[in-house]
Amino acid sequence: MVRARLVACVFACAAFFFPIHSARCQAVVQPPVEAFGALPAMSDPSLSPDGKYLALVQAYKGRPVATIWTLDQTGAAPVIIPYTDGFIDNVRWAKNNRLLIRINMNARVMGDDVNPWHRTVAVDPDGKNPAMMFSNMQEARDNNYSASRIADVAPDDPENIYMMLYAGGGYLLGVYDPPQLVMFRVSVNTGRAFSFGSGGGAHTIAWFTDGNGKVVAREDQTKDPLVDHILAYTEDKGWREIASADATGGQGFDVQGLSLDGKSLVIDAHSDDPGTSGLVQLSLADGKLSSLYFNPTYDVDDALADPWTGRVVGAAIITHMEKDLYFDPALQQMQDQLSDHFPGSSVHALSWDRAVDKVIVSVDGPTSPPEFYLFDRKNNALKRLGRTYAGLQSSDLGQINVYDYKARDGLDIPAYLTLPPGKTPKNLPVVILPHGGPMARDDMEFDWESQFLANRGYAVLRPNFRGSSGYGRKFEEAGYGQWGLKMQDDITDGVKKLIADGIADPKRICIVGGSYGGYAALAGAAFTPDLYACAAAWAPVTDLRQFLATRASDFGRDSWMISTWTRYVGDRWDDAKKLDAASPAQNAAKIRVPVLLMHGEADATVRIDQSEMMESALRRAGKKVTFIRIPKETHHMQAADSRVLWLTELEKFLKENIGN
């Protein structure tokens, strides 16, 4: 059972927020591991509706805490709200006097498997009067994997927010049968919740509101075949279906929110030519589609939403760095003004008050970790709040270069090469660092892991292999069914280019990654055993058959989740021969190099049994392996100690195997 063990406390700072000057002597060329592995000093900013308070997730003694600052009291200490049993991963103002704090506390509930468990607690600006959302529903607190799905903060309602919760079956016994996603009105003062919306029974997977707690649409998903349905609601006509789509492979609808005028849903979609993903509007009145935004080269990375209404106000794309574009002319003018002030940087408005008079802005670049600013629009003034990595200077960081190349079949592979500062790019020890996902991509913005490796003397290649997102539908679809095959070949071809260009010492190359990147690291060691001198993996997938079987147990064999994974892994998730052939754990005997494994015991995304199987297979084959388990850690290295341990062990491992 989750207990609201939130404790408000205060500590004094000599400067506003965290000190922004490093105490490190400038003559030191290698900052300590902690300078890179520490949690960001600040993240997830949220301004209160009236602009009086700023809440952040900040690092305190190696743990994420919620902090509340009073903006008109410069120099005043913040209220700090820690949580000892889990990780605070988000803060969000609901009302002028109530802050929502989301807690990730992966736990074993209803069985032996670790589940991704989330809870939401509300507090006053002074950190007092904590209330757990769904406080009157013990079953929701004890057994439901997520009580943090906020549909609407409804800023004009002084008492309530609106949340979605799966109810029925093993969650709220005897209330809903079959289990279904229900809308609840939840008091931010007491946490008491009352259901008011249930329409599609077991088929409903999402609800959509207008910013004032009024339901305007829902999304249902039926099986055999797997189809998404969008239904709109009006008081005079009730529920009516306005659109449907094949949901196989996770296609379906990806609704981002309401349009600015509230008359349409904004949905991710692909253009036919050239095939990039963008945003379209689905009219709630008649289901007609109209284009909202497409970029001819890059996918829309994210929709930008107003923090109070939830309505879509813009789109973000990533070229080499993220660029934000707004549909509202006033917001776009603000973005242009900020971008002009910080030329060459990636600039983002992360939060604003209801009047959009105060805006929290982040600014970062390839060799400049994110910095936070308060933009006072009324007075046209910027105030620097602090740096996320105060112990790092630009001189500590490596230069990031575009390093695109062609795969063996002619496909263009975008990639980035980070070079160690002060070294000539010839005959260097190299770390290949494929990203996770695999439906993700790397870019040129600050990355703590690759910059640490560059600082320690390694060139770092981060390839966006086929199957990565961001480069259009054809590029992503080229990765379907290609785990361990063409996706891996793309990584191999990047290594061979580094060798051919004289950048890499062919005897000193190590492949390192986390999650899917961890899979790629181990697959590289197994399927190209002569290419690498070592391999290291954080939370890797190692046995595809077991991984998919676990997912099938969690979500059902006929679920959209399994349908999505099979598009990447293969057409048949139960094709044992194909899956085993692409699984590093089933090919451990082919590995000839030392392997480092590290995994969080509370990982609910890739469970620790994947690393356990890999270690066992390597030991049976007589291979050299080091396996480090991290108690209570999740998939995402949420504790500073875990990040520091990973970098420390990785640095030692690399020195032993490829020098520096």
Q: What does the pLDDT average to over 306-335? A: 94
> What backbone torsions phi and psi does residue 495 show, to the nearest 5 degrees?
-65, -45
Residue 585, classed as helix, strand or coil, is helix
pLDDT in tens, 520-553: 999 999 999 999 999 999 999 999 999 888 877 7
Burial, 330: exposed, middle or buried (Cβ in 10 Å; 0-12, 13-18, 19+)?
exposed
The answer to whether residue 254 scores a pLDDT higher than 80 is: yes
The DSSP symbol for 201 reads G
On the question of a cis peptide bond just before residue 274, with omega within 30 degrees of 0, the verdict is yes
Report pLDDT for 62. 86
Q: What does the pLDDT average to over 310-329? A: 94
Tokens 């609840």: give the residue. Answer: 184
Q: What is the dihedral of CA 583, 586, 591, 596, to 10 degrees?
A: 70
Point out the least confidently predicted range of 191-195, 513-517, 548-552: 548-552
Percent of the chain predicted with pLDDT > 90: 66
The answer to whether residue 160 scores a pLDDT higher than 50 is: yes
The answer to whether residue 174 scores a pLDDT higher than 60 is: no
Nearest to 131 by CA among 100, 105, 104, 106: 100
pLDDT in tens, 82-109: 988 888 999 999 999 999 999 987 665 5
Three-state SS annotation for 98-140 = EEEEEEECCEECCCCCEECCEEEEEECCCCCCCEECCCCCHHH
Instruction: Give the residue with greater pLDDT, 24 vs 214.
Output: 214
Q: Measured between alpha carbons, how far is 595 from 391 in angstroms, rounded to an integer? A: 31
Return the structure tokens found at 516: 């899917």
Amino acid at 170: G
Q: Measured between alpha carbons, how far is 467 from 476 in angstroms, rounded to an integer? A: 4
Count CB-CB contacts under 10 A for residue 169.
Answer: 16
197 pLDDT band, cuts 50/70/90, is low
Count CB-CB contacts under 10 A for residue 64.
Answer: 26
Beta pairing partners, 449? none
Amino acid at 201: G
Q: Measured between alpha carbons, how far is 221 from 230 in angstroms, rounded to an integer? A: 9
Instruction: Give the residue with greater pLDDT, 199 vs 59.
Output: 59
On the question of a cis peptide bond just before residue 429, with omega within 30 degrees of 0, the verdict is no
Count CB-CB contacts under 10 A for residue 287.
Answer: 16
Instruction: Give the residue with greater pLDDT, 258 vs 75.
Output: 258
Return the structure tokens found at 247: 């949901």
Return the structure tokens found at 337: 């003004």
Q: Would residue 257 be called left, alpha or beta, if left means φ above 0 and alpha means ψ between -120 and 50 degrees?
A: left
pLDDT in tens, 366-389: 889 999 999 999 999 999 999 999
CA distances from 361 to 58, 95, 347, 348, 371 (A): 16, 21, 7, 6, 8
Beta pairing partners, 418? 400, 460
The answer to whether residue 628 scores a pLDDT higher than 90 is: yes
Report pLDDT for 19. 34
Q: H or E segment at 652?
A: helix 640-658
Report pLDDT for 166. 81
Q: Beta 227-234 vs 160-167: how paired, if at all?
A: unpaired
Return the structure tokens found at 336: 């242009």
Sheet holding 118-123, edge to edge: 87-95, 98-104, 118-123, 131-132
In the chain, where does the domain assigned CATH 3.40.50.1820 lie? Answer: 397-543+583-658
Could you say which of 3.40.50.1820, 3.40.50.720, 3.40.50.1950, 3.40.50.970 is the CATH number of the domain covering 397-543+583-658?
3.40.50.1820
Segments of 427-502 assigned E as strands: 428-432, 459-463
Amino acid at 4: A
The DSSP symbol for 83 reads B
